[in-house]
Amino acid sequence: MPYTRGGAVDRTDVGALVQAAIDGDAAAWKALVEGLSPLVWSVVRAHRLSEADGHEVCQTVWFRFAQHLGRIREPEKAGAWLASTARNECLKVIKGLRRLTPTDDPQVLDRVSEDRTPEQSVLDSEEAAAQSERVRRLWQEFDALGERCRELLRVLIASPPPSYQEIADGLGIAVGSIGPMRQRCLRRLRARLEGRGPK
């Protein structure tokens, strides 16, 4: 039986996977890394680190996880441990930054295929520009939300989605406040988008 389903570790198997990894099972370790890395990355993205800093934090988190593997008291909560560690490492990096580092690099457009007609190229270019404007507006309104809303929504869009306990550990908020806070943040974002209207 594979350890993962669709590339994501089954949360009910995390404790068993940790124990198997402690016992030297390379497949179990691989399943943990592949299945829980999206959670670690979601916490990193929520703190808006540069790509280089984000990679460094992720490597540090997994290194510390490997170091403490045999000492984790509740192996079934490894996801929460990783989320909490990722948050702490992100805060260390942020505290150490001397200046603001840009985190968004412009996307390079794909070159147009030679078999497209000029008309198709124009239509594709116009659609890409319209889509780019929609995305720009969405992120502009997203950035106008409060910091807590931005952090929470970034973590919630991770794939696979983290559990509420992992979110609470990663962002330092109460489990019971996640649902109501999510609704308020999404309502606020929707209202901002609808209030501006199409351009």
Whether the full predicted model's pTM is greater than 0.85, yes or no, is no
DSSP string, 35-91: HHHHHHHHHHHHTT--HHHHHHHHHHHHHHHHHHGGG-S-GGGHHHHHHHHHHHHHH
What average pLDDT does this structure show over 169-193? Answer: 88
Half-sphere exposure of 2 (CA within 13 A, CB side): 11
Looking up tokens 């179990």, which residue turns up?
28
* Residues 141-180: tens digit of each pLDDT: 888 888 888 888 888 887 777 888 888 888 888 889 988 9
pLDDT of 125 higher than 80: no
H or E element that contains 14: helix 14-22
- Looking at residue 113, what is its pLDDT? 42
Q: For residue 13, how many other CB atoms are within 10 A of its CB?
A: 19
Q: Is 124 exposed, middle or buried (0-12, 13-18, 19+ CB in 10 A)?
A: middle
The 3-state DSSP composition of the chain as helix, strand, coil percent (nearest 5) reads 70, 0, 25
* Residues 82-105: tens digit of each pLDDT: 999 999 999 988 888 744 545 555
